Amino acid sequence: MTRAARPSRRPSAWRAAQRRRRSWRLADPRKLPAKGAFDVGLRARRLLWSWWPWAALAVWLALGPRSWWAVAAAVMAFISHLIAPREEPPRYGLDHEFAAASDEFVATMAGATGVPLLPGNAFEILDNGDAFYPRMLQDIAAARATITIEAYIYWAGEVGTTFAQALAERARAGVRVTILLDAVGSTDIGRETLATLEQGGCQVAWYNPITWRTLGRFNNRTHRKSLIVDGVVGYTGGAGFADHWRGQARTPEEWRDVQVRVEGPAVMPLQSGFAHNWQQATGELVSGEGYYPVLSARGPHTLQVILSSPENGASSVRIMYYLAIVCARRSILIANPYFVPDPVAIQTLVEAKGRGVDVRIMVAGVHNDNWLARQNSVRLYGPLLQAGIEILEYNRTMLHHKVMVVDGVWATVGTTNFDNRSFAHNEESNVCVFAPEVARQFETSFEDDVAGCDRVTLDAWRRRGLAARAGEQLASLLEDQV
């Protein structure tokens, strides 16, 4: 056989496949720079709270003359292991060509979070305790089969007593009332309130109490706030059951917060979140029509209910936040009390501003119940302010709602703070709505709240004193825990 007649060892189809492979390699997002470069300070903090340096130190000390110090190092290794985040933010694939108003965004949001969109829901925004507490009590009084509650905070006081009496009355009437309370957040429920619930026939269980058997999960808290009546009506948002949520946010004693009332098919995911955690706490599977009725359309809205848990290894709510930011084309409004963005979030927000998006962030100001979150938030203002992002500190009272609106077409509201604790440690829930009319309601509410804010300027931020900076650096050691 002549050389010319010899068959090719690399046929054209094979060569085409190789070209496609090389093209794929060039397009591999992992070949691009990762979002959110880790600075020296962040790397040092991560090393400080890694278990293995402390374990190595314990071994070294155990071999020396002062071996008792090895015990302290071993304890630090154990604590570091327990509090380590089980989830990391996505750092690649956060560059998208489609906008929040596109069909691609809707499909990607459903696919990336693993949560379908459910049509046929009624959706009502309730601002502050004078609006949402009476509405919740009205629905409780109308319950006929089941009431489920999952709450991080249920405290003694007028609100706690009022709800306990209403729930006990329904339980005595034959409604099954099941209440799941976080074992850390609700320690101040008080004996009288708890007795009212239990003696009335309500079932109360505690999520993740700290015992030797649960020590490995002690940092996992349920931060969800849900009330579900007959599996048909559901509430979620920033508020628990305590007196500081009463009123209309007129004074520092009346917190600013938002709850949403959902009626229709989107209530089922909220119920599923409760059922999963109830089973984990009690071993009981809740089932039946009283919890999961067949739901027909109750309204015009298509909703997405995203449940986030550290058990999943990736925060669905973090993915939701970041994806919405990178798909923004006109505006981003964020109202969140504990705003402690990681390097990835900071970069995506700065890049959004750079492509012409109007980015405005409203945070809790001087009336803030979490010193660590406040200090870490202020410490991280710098790159955002330098990019021209507007930061507003709400100083009328404690701002506690968690809302984001993108491009006037999409909004999310729920329990999730914009910080690592919510993303990596807590059970959380958010409701997303794809509706310009609802987005406009949240935008109007945001503009109304601006009157209670002070705008942070880059010059004022740079002029904060040495004592303030020292406090921020001290707080930064626990950034991953707030």
- Residue with tokens 């509410």, as numbered in its chain: 445
In the predicted model, is pLDDT for residue 52 greater than 50? yes
Domains of the chain, by residue range, sit at 41-83, 103-111+305-481, 120-299
pTM above 0.85, yes or no: yes
What confidence category does residue 5 fall into, taking pLDDT thresholds of 50, 70 and 90?
very low
- Is it true that 103-111+305-481 and 120-299 share their CATH fold? yes
Average pLDDT, stretch 272-289? 95
Average pLDDT, stretch 221-238? 97
Of 283, 152, 281, residue with least CA distance to 209 = 281
The residue with greater pLDDT, 218 or 221, is: 221
**Secondary structure class of 110 (helix, strand, coil):** helix
Give residue 248's pLDDT.
96
In the predicted model, is pLDDT for residue 6 greater than 80? no
Give residue 29's pLDDT.
55
| Burial annotation 3-29 (CB, 10 A radius, 16+ → b, else e) | eeeeeeeeeeeeeeeeeeeeeeeeeee
Overall fold of domain 103-111+305-481: Endonuclease; Chain A (3.30.870)
Please provide residue 474's backbone torsions phi and psi, each rounded to the nearest 5 degrees. -65, -45
Give residue 55's pLDDT.
86
Give residue 31's pLDDT.
61
Write down the mean pLDDT value for the chain: 89
Please provide residue 142's backbone torsions phi and psi, each rounded to the nearest 5 degrees. -90, 0
**What is each CA distance from 135 to 250, 321, 436, in whole angstroms?**
20, 29, 25
Overall fold of domain 120-299: Endonuclease; Chain A (3.30.870)
Residue 201's Cβ-count burial label (10 Å; 0-12, 13-18, 19+) is: middle
Please report how the helices 158-172 and 191-199 are oriented relative to each other, as an axis angle in degrees rounded to 10: 10
